[in-house]
Amino acid sequence: MNDRIVTALLAAERSGHPASPSALGSVDDAGPILATLADDPLAPLAARALTVASGADPDAWRGPVRAFAAGLAQQTSVLALQESVDALLGGSAAADAGPALHTAMLTGLDDAVGTTPSLAAARLEVAARVALAKLARPYLVLERLAAPPDELAEDYLDPLPRLVGIALETWGSDDEVAQPLIDVLAALTATPVEGDALHELACRQMRRALSAPDMPAATEGLARAAAMFAQAQEVDEDRDDSAAYQLACEAVIAFAHADWTGVATSTEALTNVLSRRGAWHLGAHLPAWRAGARDAETAWLAFVLDLRQAADRLREDSWLDVRAAAGQLAAVYEAERVIDPAPGLLAAIRPTIAATVAGNAVLLGQLERMVDHDLAGGKSVLPPAAAAVLVAAHAARARSTADPTSPATDRDAALGRILRLAPSLLAFGDDICQHLAATLDDDALRDAEGIAAPLRRLQPPHPTLKRMRDSIVTSLEVNPRFTGETRAAVIALLERTLTFLLDRYDRGGPLMKGMKNIIGVPAKGGSLPVEADLQWEFYVWLAGPWEFAGRVHAEVSDIATGRADVTVRFGDVELVTEVKRELADSTPRALERSYLGQAAAYSGSGEPFSQLLVLDLTDHSSGVRTLPDLAWVAEHRADPEASPQLTVVAVVVGNRPTPRNVKGTTAT
């Protein structure tokens, strides 16, 4: 009997179809035999046959289906297990097989993790699939996914970030569920699957940004997500998915800020990434249960490409084809290419469309006439959202012209007015923009745009410095006093400090002719640089630009009963940079232990922000850390109950050999 059923399974496989119930025989004869094949290489054939039989007579075949699902716990082949589960969960047998599969896959999983990690990972994935299909409660799966990933085999870790990411997307709306999963992803960044974990953390941040209630929160959240996707690419340069989502976030941000050139640049790069991604994945097998995620990804990225067309229309003085332009704007206004558009996405793009159309009387008139003509024709041709764009544009125009000299009390209205009249000012942050909107009339804002726009277009930011800046600003934002003029002052000093780090990292040699070379290895018998050498280099670097002229001072006394090395004053905000030299241990922990307290002390009577600039003269014969590793934020408290003080630590590497003289590292 057993041989006959096996022969029927093999014959059906050769024909390209699962074995039919008639070929197998009665359920009493064939059912037990098929169930025993769960741990056999023929398990996928048996699973497909059971699925067909269950579809024909669910009640009769329920027992064998459950027995087979339970028996898959003994399957030793990852591929056979996955194919069998695909068959069971992809057909009419899913409801009967699911609970048994869930129990079988989780029973004894701990032992399997230690002995067969690849198989254990496959079993955890199956249990997760059952929970995702709502055939079992997710609590046991979530408990397994939230377990600390300490000292686990790499084969088990490989799919873990993806599974945790899927769990976050599905059940992460509850913070009590989400936080343990986020902690696991953070822990996985210290394992061989660091790139995957960083990508999933970035996806989590992007989802949160797209759920934000307003444009500022959405764009700020997307900026953080873009920086996190960039970090994932630094770890794994082949992450085309991270590259695509980074560019998508940047395109939406650019659109929200009416930066049409930025939209074009991001979407062009995104097109190239998607072409490469499509070529790499051409013909690759994608499990059916993950197809929905790929569909959503495709729709979301296609929407970003639509932004380019809408941006092109909004930057035009007038439209040659008004109907086409109205349709393109309507498609983006409703985010119709996106599956279940999130509120943050709509909040980011709608004010820009409305404000831009409202700010151009020609475009507003063209859209108005086209919508009126469409509505009067009886049979509408334009999408309904075209009328919504017109209504929003009229509302934006009414808000901006009601009383142009009155203070802007509504955050969104103020930012919308800045966006329409002086979009380049958005680079200075929401708080400054709200202040400007409240104090300047329309003509003054247009004058401000004339000054700011050329500066904005000078050149794109250095990609590494931009990521460093965004990361540091994110760390500083935890302090509620990082706002308004203080925020603007700290960021201005930070940006100038980061450019100093870049110059000293790459160029080497003296900062200026006649100054001491503090970067290279001293000549034989020569002396090492001292703190004052770095201090005066930094002072010269800060004092040169127009915006810092007259604001920078050195050796300022009577600050925290001491003398500050370098100070910068913007209005009432004074920021101190303490300069130090390190000869023994330049690790971040050692530098903070030695110098953080003094650097933070100078901010005691002002805003709780300062800088620590260290000249690292330790041995670098085996190389130096990358530039992003040389700047970070450290917190200091005078005692556990004291208010926090945040210090930006920046390291200039001296005593540095040229690359040709760097030795290989020794394995430990």
Q: pLDDT per residue over 80-101, tens digit each?
A: 999 999 888 888 888 899 999 9
User: What is the maximal distance between C-alpha atoms in the chain?
Assistant: 97
Whether residue 586 has pLDDT greater than 90: yes
- Nearest 5°: the CA angle 401, 404, 405 is 160
Note the pLDDT of residue 411: 64
The answer to pTM > 0.75 is no
- Kindly indicate the confidence band of residue 288, based on its pLDDT and cuts at 50, 70 and 90: low
Q: Is 568 helix (H, G, I), strand (E, B) or coil?
A: strand
Compute, in degrees rounded to 10, the torsion defined by CA atoms 470, 474, 479, 482: 30
Q: Going by C-beta distance under 8 Å and a sequence separation of 6 or more, which residues neighbour residue 364? A: 357, 358, 393, 394, 397
Q: Tell me 627's DSSP state.
A: G
325 or 521: which leads in pLDDT: 521
For the chain, domain boundaries? 1-136, 471-661
Summarize the confidence of residues 554-581 as an average pLDDT.
85
pLDDT, residue 205, reads: 92
Residue bearing the bigger pLDDT, 421 or 204? 204
The token duo for 82 is 């996955």
Residues 6+ apart with CB under 8 A from 420: 355, 356, 358, 359, 396, 400
Q: How far apart are CA 191 and CA 187, in angstroms?
A: 8
pLDDT at 651 exceeding the cut of 90: yes
Q: 642 Cβ partners below 8 Å, 6+ apart?
A: none
Q: Which residues pair with 635 in a beta bridge?
A: 646
Task: Answer whether residue 473 shows pLDDT above 80.
Answer: yes
Say which range, 114-128, 195-209, 511-525, has the weakest mean pLDDT. 511-525
Between residues 386 and 638, the one the model is more confident about = 638
Amino acid 404: pLDDT:
46
pLDDT for 430? 60
State the Cα–Cα distance between residues 40 and 74, nearest whole angstrom.
Answer: 9
Beta partners for 553? 567
pLDDT in the model for residue 435 = 64
**Separation in Å, CA 326 to CA 197, 306, 330, 382, 501:** 41, 13, 6, 7, 48
Select from 270, 196, 255 the least CA-distant residue to 222: 255
The residues near 470 (Cβ < 8 Å, ≥ 6 apart) are: 223, 224, 227
Taking only the tens place, the pLDDT of each residue in 451-464 is 555 444 444 468 89
pLDDT in tens, 249-285: 999 999 888 898 888 898 888 888 877 776 766 666 6
Work out the average pLDDT over 165-180: 88
For residue 292, the model assigns a pLDDT of 61
Per the document, the length of the chain is 668
List the single range of 56-60, 300-304, 612-616 with lowest mean pLDDT: 300-304
Q: Which residue do the tokens 């976030």 mark?
A: 249
Q: Is the pLDDT of residue 618 over 90?
A: yes
Give percent of the chain above pLDDT 90.
33
Q: DSSP readout, 39-84?
A: GSTTHHHHHHHHHHHHHH-HHHHHHHHHHHHHHGGG---HHHHHHH
Strands 562-570 and 552-559: what pairing?
antiparallel
Let me know: does 240 contact 277? Beta carbons within 8 Å: yes
Q: What is the mean pLDDT of residues 369-382?
A: 71
Cβ-contact 495, 648 below 8 angstroms = no
Lowest mean pLDDT among 98-107, 384-393, 416-425, 466-475: 416-425
State the pairing for strand pair 562-570/645-653: unpaired
- 503-540 pLDDT, tens digit each: 999 887 888 877 889 999 988 888 899 999 999 999 98
Is 171 a residue whose pLDDT tops 80?
A: yes
**Is the pLDDT confidence value at 140 over 80?**
yes
Q: pLDDT band at 431, cuts 50/70/90?
A: low
What pLDDT is recorded for position 484?
63
Q: Look up residue 446 and give its two tokens.
A: 């247009």
